[in-house]
A and B are shown apart, each in its own frame.
Chain A
Amino acid sequence: MLPFLLRRLFWFVVTLWVVVTISFFLMRQVRGGPFDGERSLNEAIERNIQARYHLDWPQWKQYLQYVGPFNLDSDGPELLGGDGTDPFTGVLVGDFGPSFKYRDFTVNDIIGQSLPVSVSLGLIALMWALSLGLTAGVASALWRGSKTDVLLRLLATGGIALPNFTVAGFLVIFFVFLVPLLPVAGYGSWRHLVLPGFALGAPFAAYIARLTRTGMLEVLSQDYIRTAHAKGLPPRLVILRHAIKGGILPVVSYLGPATAGILTGSLVIERIFAIPGTGSHFVNSALNRDYTLAMGVTILYTVLVYTLNALVDFAYTLLDPRISMEES
């Protein structure tokens, strides 16, 4: 148990370090800083801006300052203004620095505002994916070979094949313009999240349906299911109490990648539906060369994806006693 956690932690640190280092030096390679505009600035102003964001330092020092945990900026506090006297800064203490484009915001502010939006969108998408996927998968396994099964499988394959923004286009045409039920875009109430959530979750629902079908079929052919039937348990209870438990195991291990996919898939969906989430901030920041924001979001998502995968692996070992933690 403990060695397992420690090993995971070690690789987590290595992964994070790789991500931080690669993205940091990639972004410093780009010619032209985030402050280059049409007009060339006054030299003094430019020097001040450079000093404000430590761009006048050598790269290794910028890197150390960015990673932290110690504030290398000896005369920084005055320049940074306000409470810049913090002796600890950098990614190691969870400080992603100031945003280059949104002048008065730190990256932490922006993430703090946008992450709840993205998370609620992701949760709705996950709920769509799980409810639709599990139902469809169980149904098509129970009525194997029937018309329902064929139709559901075709739908599932289609769901995997279509990109989510195309699904979004169809949804908007149907549920906004032809049958005006839901708002077209924006953010405010739960009704704004129904369509984007569905569009985001659709491919994952399709994949979950496939996994569930396979898992259920495998379980239904097991001896203990026959035993349960033979001892006279009603079919409904056999399914609910015995079959589903084993049948959805593959889905559990897919939840990690699915959540990661939903988080990254929201880049496009948030843009289509004009949802002010972390994903749309990331795309804008990459296009606007707002490097600290782009890096902050990348690091955040790496942490999220890694943690989720670790949690899923952990849950899997609890659910399936055949898998031991030492091997995984």
Chain B
Amino acid sequence: MGRASRASGAMRWDLGGRELEALAAEAERFRGESLWQDAWRRLKANRTAWWSLLFLALFGGAALLAPLLPIPSPVHLDLQLEPQPPVPPWELFGESGFEPEYWELSFLDEVLVDLRVAIFGEWQTGPWLGTDGKGRDILSRIVWGSRTSILVALAAALCSLAIGVTYGALAGYLGGRVDNLMMRVVDILYSIPFIFLVIFLITVVNEYRTELEDGYGIDRETVFYVVIGAVYWLTMARVVRGQVLSLRNSEFIEAARVLGASTARILFTHLVPNVLSIVIVYLTLTIPAVMLFEAFLSFLGLGIEPPKVSWGLLAVDGSEMVNPVRIYWWLVVFPAGAMGATLLALNLLGDGLRDALDPKLRGKD
């Protein structure tokens, strides 16, 4: 704006008795608000979304620092006859007997575990949420499971983001025949029942897993992220392409062009931020979808493998223990509660972000 007023400031326009300088001076007194400041303010005003964000931050923090928390080991077996019911913290707050037993952890996690032992020693929390049939602590398994599930979700969502944004922006930018063809391909892929192809793909990859691991250092989980990401990019591509296409010919881009902005400037200061907002919104909506998908595949025995733990596996464990003799409700309720709450928070945050970032879409589903 500043440039525009300076450029035309030399000419004296009669604007209802007020001169342009006066108008410009008046405009100077108002501080502009960027898209992100505006969005942040609106997000804070939306209480549901704000609480969701806080909840997710808390949960994500717990997942990130899981090795540091004084919770029992998620895989330490205590072979007893049946799952033990939860003991509330006011009855048994903590006990001694921590066993640092895990699957193969990364270096950083090892350090965190060492730190945890240095701080808390053998002390660990009691079975606040009960234990499962093999004596493993449910709370610990939920926290460690959230770590796996969140990692899968983030990695796969980023994968889909990379593919979708590149593809969509390219199609929208090139336009014409190329765009038409590229979107036809997306249409075709849309009508394929993907779950079938994914199951196919994962069974095929499973046959080659030792080669992949030894020869290329690609482990099963990486394949898993890529496969899921390769499935979930379609909507992202469509949205980005539509956005780029409509923005390319919109007035403010034309205005920028008239004012002499370079192509790069138009692309990076005008197009990208506008696309970015909707990309973030779809990212928050893709993450819960991917989490559900992970759970779905783990349920079928094609996802995360024991001894690692994920929410999908916890749900499997829980539903396997559903039997008429005795109801181990804590095996179903707590994992489902954690998963449901997280997915709910993500969905609400996604809705809130959409309202905050794209006023045009407000109130629409």
- Residue numbers of A with Cβ under 8 A of B are 11, 14-15, 18-19, 22-23, 26-27, 29-32, 157-158, 160-163, 165-166, 168-170, 172-173, 176-178, 184, 210-211, 214, 217, 250, 260, 263-264, 267-268, 271-272, 282-283, 286-287, 289, 294, 297-298, 301-302, 305-306, 309
Contact = CB atoms under 8 A, between A and B. Distances in A.
Contacts, number: 132
Contact size range, B = 35 or more
B232 to A, nearest CB: 14
Interface stretch (B139-147, B151-159, B196-204): B196-204
A18 B192 contact: yes
Interface string B338-365: 0110011011100000000000000111
Contacts of A264: 193, 195-196
A14 to B, nearest CB: 6
Nearest to A211: B365
Given A162-B336, A283-B300, A301-B193, A172 B322 contact: yes
B319 interface: yes
Given A161-B344, A210-B365, A22 B197 contact: yes
Interface stretch (B9-17, B79-87, B249-257, B288-296): B288-296
A152 to B, nearest CB: 14
A162 B339 contact: yes
A27 B200 contact: yes
Given A162-B336, A214-B363, A31 B208 contact: yes
16 contacts: A15-B188, A18-B192, A30-B204, A160-B343, A160-B347, A161-B343, A161-B344, A162-B339, A163-B315, A165-B299, A169-B319, A169-B332, A282-B196, A294-B200, A298-B193, A298-B197
A214 B300 CA distance: 35
Contacts of A306: 191
A173 B193 contact: no
Contacts of B193: 260, 263-264, 298, 301-302, 305
Contacts of B104: none
Contact of A163 (B184, B296, B348, B364): B296
Chain A binding surface SS class = helix
B327 interface: yes
A30 B192 CA distance: 21
Interface string B318-346: 11001010010100100110011001101
Q: Which of A157, A161, A168, A214 is most buried by chain B, counting CB atoms within 10 A of its CB? A: A161
Q: Which of B195, B201, B363 is most buried by chain A, counting CB atoms within 10 A of its CB? A: B195
A287 B332 contact: no
A210 B328 CA distance: 34
3 nearest A-B residue pairs (beta carbon):
A161-B343, A166-B336, A161-B344
Q: Which of B192, B204, B208, B364 is most buried by chain A, counting CB atoms within 10 A of its CB? A: B192
B207 interface: yes
B221 interface: no
Given A30-B203, A263-B193, A271-B300, A165 B208 contact: no
Given A177-B324, A267-B195, A297-B196, A26 B187 contact: no
B203 A289 contact: yes
B288 A161 contact: yes
Interface string B286-316: 0010001001100111000000000010010
Q: Which of B193, B300, B329, B363 is most buried by chain A, counting CB atoms within 10 A of its CB? A: B193
Contact of A15 (B191, B204, B208): B191
A187 to B, nearest CB: 18
A172 B322 CA distance: 8
Contacts of B315: 163, 165-166, 169
A146 B171 CA distance: 45
Contacts of B204: 26-27, 29-30
B322 A169 contact: yes
Given A165-B319, A169-B319, 9 more contacts: A19-B197, A161-B340, A163-B339, A169-B336, A170-B336, A172-B319, A173-B332, A267-B300, A298-B200
